[in-house]
Amino acid sequence: MAGISLTSVTKSFGGNTVLHGVSLDIAAGEFVALVGPSGCGKTTLMRIVAGIEQASSGTLRIQGRDATSLRAGERDVAMVFQSYALYPHLTVAENIAVPLAMRRLNAWQRLPLLGGLMPGARATRRRIAGEVAAAAESLGLGALLDRRPAQLSGGQRQRVALARAMVRRPAAFLMDEPLSNLDASLRVQTRREIVAIHRRAGAATLYVTHDQSEALTMADRVAVMQGGRILQVAPPREIYADPADLRVATFIGSPRINLLPGEAGRDGLVRVGDRLIGLRCAARGPLTLGIRPEAFVLAAEGLPARAEAVEFLGESVLLHTRHEASGSPLVLRLPPEAAGRLPASGAALHLGFAPGAALLFDQDGARRRAEAVVAREPALV
Amino acid sequence: MSDLAIAAPHRRAAGTGEAMAAWALTLPAAIAYLLMLLLPTLATAALAFTDYELGLDGFRWIGLGNFAEMLEDRGFLQSLRNTLVYVGLVTPGSIIGALLLALAIEAGTRGRTLFRAVFFLPVVSLSVAMAAAWQYLLHPTIGPLNAALRVIGIEGPAWLSSSDTVLLSLAAIGIWENLGFNLVLFLAGLTAIPRELYAAAAVDGVPSAWERFRLVTWPLLGPTTLFVLTITMIRSVRVFDTVVVLTQGGPNKASQVLLYTLYEEGFTYFRIGYSAAITLVFLGIVLASMWLQTKVLDKRVHYA
Amino acid sequence: MPERTPLLRDLPRLLFLTAAGLLMLMPYIWMAAASLKPLDEIFRASLSLWPERFFAAENYGKVFERIPVGRYLWNGVVVCGGILAFQILFAVPAGYALAKLRFRGRELVFGAVMLGLLVPPHVPALPLYVAFSQMGLLNSYTALIAPFTISVFAIFLFRQFFKSLPDDLIHAARLDGMSEMAIVWRVVLPNAWPAATAFAIFSVVAHWNDLFWPLIIANGDSHATPALGVMFFRSAEAGDDFGALMAAAVIMTAPLVIAFLLAQRRFVEGIASTGLKG
Ligand SMILES: Nc1ncnc2c1ncn2[C@@H]1O[C@H](COP(=O)(O)OP(=O)(O)OP(=O)(O)O)[C@@H](O)[C@H]1O
Ligand SMILES: [Mg+2]
C-alpha cells in the first residue's frame, strides 16, 4: 500500500500556477528525495501533503486514505521544517511532547496547572514523558531535555526537530531542506543519522533538498522537479545514467553534463559536425548529445578540441576544453594521476568516448534512444 | 607587526583629535541637558524638602515635612487613589482591547490599512479638542449617548459630573486614546512571529484557534505584551489633559489625579516645595513601573 | 501569507472590526455633525446626524470671528518647528559621537542619556517655571521651546541608528578630508532619513498635542498653541455653544489628522517605532 500518493495535484496562488498536475507515489517505508531549482514548487508540494496548504485540484491519499480535505493534525504525517520551527518558550522535552499532548490529552487536561488534576491526565502525561525520553535518547538528546532551543547548537536543534517529528510514529515523514542550516561536516553526519532513523521507523519519507548529492546518496528514488512539474522519478543511479529529459540530465551531475550539437542523417546515423560517432537512432534532424565529464578520455582520434584550463580537485582533475567545430565548452574528469601529463592551455587535443556513453535528446529535450553501430569509419574510442 | 608599530603613535594622535571632535559634537546637547534636564530635576528633588513658595522671599529646609503633609492631605491621597484606579482600568482595558483587535486584523487580508488607520486616529488627534467632543458626547441632557440610552428606556447618568461615574468615564476615554497605539505595537509583534511556527503547530495537531493562541501567539508575543504593558502604565499615570478640560478634578475631587494636583499646587497656588514633593512621588511611580518591566517580568518573556 | 479567504467566511471578522471601528469614530462623527447644526437642534438631542438646518457657516464663522485661529495654528507651527529644529541640531551630532567616535567619558555621556530617558518632562517643570518667571520669559516662545530642545530620546534613537551605519562610510569620508561636523551633516544625516522622519513625526505629534507646559507658560492669545486655543474658546466664548465649540475642535484637530491620513504608513511606523517615550 502506498504511503503517500499524489494524483494530478495543482496549486495556484491567485492567478499564479505553481504546481501543474503533480503525480507521485511513495511506498510505505520508501525514501524519496525531491530535488529541483529554487522556486520550482518543492516546499509548496510538501505543504500540501502536510495539510498546511490546500491543493487547488487533484487528490492526496495517505496510507490509502483520502486525505485531500483532512486537517493537518488529522493526517498522520510529521514534518521537519527548514528553520526547525521549535517553540522557543518550551524546553526540549516540552517541544518533543507537543504532538503527543495535542493528540492524547483533551482541552481540560492540557491546562497548565489544573490539567494535572483532571482524571487520567497524570498517567497519560507519564506515558508521554516516557516516549519523549526514549525518542530524545535515540537521538542523543538525553542530557538536553531541560534546555530551551536558544541554548542549543544548530545540529542539536535539528535533532530536536527530528525527535518531535518521529516521536508519534507517523505514517509519513516530510522534511524540507532539514540540513541546509548546518555546516558541511555536520551535514554529512546528520545525513547518515536521518537515513538510519528512516530505516528504523519505516515511514514513507519525502525529503526536499536542492543539494543533489544529498538526494543521490540518501534516497531510494529521486524525483526531479522543475517549473511545477515532476520530470522524472527514478533510483539515483538511473536518474544519473539514464535521464529521461535534457533538463534532468543537466540538473543532476557536477560538473554539469557536456552538451554538443549533433544531427541524425536520413540513414539515422548520428554525426557531430561531419563525424560519425557510431550511433544510430530512429529520429531524424538536429539532436543534442549529452556526455558526462568522466565519459571522455584523451585519445589519438576523436573530437578535435583545444585545452583551456585545469582544475585539481584532489580525488580527480577537471580539464576544461573547447570543441573546435561548435565552440561548445567540454569538461573532462580525469583520474588525479593524469594531472602531471595534461596538455598546456591552447594545445590541440582529441576527445574520445564510448558510443554508449552519449545520451541523445531531441530539440524538445526529450530523450532519444540509440543503438551502437559498427561503422565503416572507426568509432571514436 | 611592522604595521602595528607604525600605527600606534599615529593612532594616539588621531585618538585625541577624535576625542576633541566628539566633545565638540556633544557639547550643545550636553549644555542643554544640563540646563533643561539635569539641574532642574535635581532642583526639584531639592525643593521637595523646602517650603518654598513663589512670590515669598526665601525658604526653609523642612526635611520630610512636605511628605508628612501629603499623608494628611485628603486632596493628594484622593488623587493618588484615583490615579491608581485610572491606571488599573486603562491598562488592562486598552491592552486586551488592542490585542483582540490586532488578532482580528491579523487574521485576514482585507481592510488592514483602513482599520489600522481608524484605530490609530485618536493618537494623532488633539487631545484637548477630542476631550471637548467627549464632553458633548457624554453630556447628561443633550449628549448623544444618553439620547441613545433614552431610546431604549434608560435614563443615563451624568457621566462627567457625578462622582460615581466620572472616573469610569475618564478611564473609558483613556482606553479610547491608548487603544490604537497599543494595537499598532501588537500588530508589529504579531507580524514578527515566524509563520513556520503556526505551520508546525498545525502539523503537531493543534486542535483549535484557542490552543494555537496558547501554544504559539501568546508566548511569542510576550516581549511585545510586556513593552505595551509598561508603556500603557507610564502613559496613563500621566493623565492630565482630559481632567483639565472635562472635570478639573471634580466633582468633589472624585477625578483629582496626580498630575492635576501637582499642577494646582505648583502653578495655581505656587506652593513650589509641596508640588515638587508630589513630583517626586509621580517620578517614583513611573520608575517603579519601569523597574517592574526590566527586573521582574523581562526574564519571563525572553527565551534566549 | 494567508490566502484571500472567501468574503463570506471573512464576514464575521469584518463585521466585528467595523463595529469596533465605528465605536472608535463616534466622537469624530458627533463632533463633525454637531459643528454643522444650530444650537436649538443640538439641544433637542435627536439622534439624527444630519442637520435639518445647515448651520456650518455660522458655527465656523463664529470660531474665526471670536478667536485668532490663525494665530494659534501659527504658534503651534512655530513651537513644534522650533522644538524639532533644536532637537535635531543637538541630538544628531551627539548621537553620532556616541555611536561612532571613541573618547574618554563616552560611557558617562551614554549613561546620562539612559538616565534622562527615565525622567518624564513633568519632573523638571517646576524649577524651569520658576527660572523663566524670574527672567521675565513667561509667555514667550523661548519658554515654550527651550525645555524641549534637549531630547535624550532623540540622542538614543539616532545613536542606535548610526551604529548600524557601516564604519567604512565614515572612514571614506574622512579620507576625503571632511571634518567630523561635515561628516555628521553631509554623510550621516542623509543616511538617517528613516530615523529622522520617524522622530520628526513623533516629536511634532507629541508637542502639537501637549497641554501641560503651554498651560503653565502661555497665558494669553499671543502665544497660545492650538490645544490652549480650544480651551480658551471653550471657557471664555462658547460655554454651552456646542455647535461652535465642535467647530473649533474640528479646526484645531484637522491639520494633524489630515497629515496623518495623507502619510498614514509613515505616521504609524514613526510613532510605533519611537513609542518608547510615548
Ligand atoms: N503563499 C504564496 N503566495 C504566492 N506565491 C507563493 C506562495 N508560496 C509560494 N509561492 C510561489 O510559489 C513558487 C514555489 O515556491 P516554493 O516555496 O514551493 O519553492 P521551492 O521549490 O521550495 O523553492 P526553494 O528551493 O527556494 O525553497 C514560488 O515562485 C513562490 O514565489
Ligand atoms: Mg522551499
pLDDT tens figures, A305-326: 999 999 988 889 999 999 988 8
Task: Say how many C-beta atoms besides its own lie within 10 A of residue A119's C-beta.
Answer: 8
Tell me the mean pLDDT in the region B198-227.
Answer: 90
Residue A179: the pLDDT is: 86
Q: Give whole-number Cα distances, C127 to B39, B52, B107, B154, B240, in Å.
A: 9, 11, 50, 50, 20
Average pLDDT of every residue of chain B: 87
Cα of A13 to ligand 1 centre, how many Å? 10
**Mean pLDDT, to the nearest integer, of B165-173?**
94
Lowest average pLDDT, out of A252-256, B48-52, B62-66, B69-73, goes to B62-66
Average pLDDT on A168-176 reads 89
Confidence check: pLDDT of B10 > 60: no
Q: Which residue of B has its CA nearest to C270?
A: B184
Work out the pLDDT band at C2, boundaries 50, 70, 90: very low
Q: Measure CA of the first residue to CA of the last residue in chain A; give whole Å.
A: 47
Helix, strand, coil share (%) of chain B residues, nearest 5: 75, 0, 25
Domain range list for chain B: 2-47, 65-301
Interface membership of B223 toward A (CB under 8 Å) = no
B interface mutation test: which of A98, A167, A169 has the most B CBs within 10 A? A98
CB contact under 8 A, B203 and A87: no
Structural domains in chain A, sorted by start? 2-241 (3.40.50.300), 255-372 (2.40.50.140)
Instruction: Please report residues of B whose CB lies closer than 8 A to that of A50.
Output: 199, 202-203
Residue by residue, DSSP assigns B264-283 as IIIIIS--HHHHHHHHHHHH
CA dist., res. A25 & res. A221, Å (int): 11
Chains interfacing with C (3 or more CB pairs < 8 Å): B
Q: What digits encode the pLDDT tens for the residues C71-87?
A: 899 999 999 999 999 99
User: Do residues B184 and C265 touch, judged by C-beta distance below 8 A?
Assistant: no
Secondary element (H or E) of residue A79: strand A77-80
**Over 90: is that where the pLDDT of B130 sits?**
yes
Cα–Cα dist C125/C142, whole Å: 14
What is the identity of the amino acid at C52? E
Q: What is the pLDDT of residue B6?
A: 40
Identify the DSSP state of C219: -
> Is the model's pLDDT at A242 over the cut of 70?
yes
Cβ of residue A209 lying under 6 Å from some atom of ligand 1: no
Fold of C68-274: MetI-like fold (1.10.3720)
From the list B25, B146, B241, the residue facing C180 with the nearest CB is: B25
- Name the residue of A22, A40, A79 to mutate for ligand 1: max ligand atoms within 8 A of Cβ: A40
Residue B164's alpha-carbon distances to B264, C104, C129, in angstroms, are 23, 58, 35
What is the rounded average pLDDT for all residues in chain A?
87
The CATH number given to B65-301 is: 1.10.3720.10
Dmax (CA) for chain A in angstroms is 90
Residue B3 has pLDDT above 60, yes or no: no
Taking only the tens place, the pLDDT of each residue in C168-197 is 888 888 888 888 888 888 888 888 888 888
Q: Taking CB atoms and an 8 Å cut-off, how many pairs form between chains A and B?
A: 73
Averaged pLDDT for residues B18-32: 88
Contact A264, A283 (CB under 8 A): yes
Q: Which residues contact A238 (CB under 8 A, 6 or more apart)?
A: none
Q: Measured between alpha carbons, how far is B232 from B99 in angstroms, rounded to an integer?
A: 13
pLDDT tens-digit series, residues C89-105:
999 999 999 998 888 88
Can you tell me the distance from the alpha carbon of C73 to that of C251, in angstroms, rounded to the nearest whole number?
A: 9
Nearest Cα residue in chain B from C46 = B147
pLDDT band at B4 (very low <50, low <70, confident <90, very high): very low
Each domain of chain C, given as residue ranges in start order, spans 1-57, 68-274
Residue A22 to residue A54: CA distance in whole angstroms: 14
Residue C186: predicted pLDDT: 87
pLDDT, average across residues A248-262: 92
Dihedral sign for Cα atoms in the order B118, B124, B126, B128: positive
Residues C5-49: pLDDT tens digits? 778 888 999 999 999 999 999 999 999 998 888 888 877 877 787
Q: Are the beta carbons of A82 and B196 separated by less than 8 Å?
A: yes
Per-residue model confidence as pLDDT tens digits over C41-67: 877 877 787 877 778 788 888 888 888
Which chains pack against A, by 3+ Cβ pairs within 8 A? B
* pLDDT recorded at residue B7: 41
A299 pLDDT above the threshold of 90: no
pLDDT in tens, B176-187: 999 999 999 999
Sorted by sequence, the CB contacts under 8 Å of residue B77 that are 6+ apart come out as B70, B71
Banded pLDDT at A196 (limits 50, 70, 90): confident
**pLDDT tens readout for residues C256-270:** 899 988 888 888 877
State how far the Cα of C203 lies from the Cα of C226, in Å rounded to an integer: 16
Which residue has the least CA distance to atom 3 on ligand 1? A13
The grid coordinates listed for B101 are: 483587535
Give the integer Cα–Cα distance in Å for B232 and B173: 14
> Who contacts C114 (Cβ-Cβ below 8 Å, separation ≥6)?
C156
Whether the Cβ atoms of residue B172 and residue C266 lie closer than 8 Å to each other = no
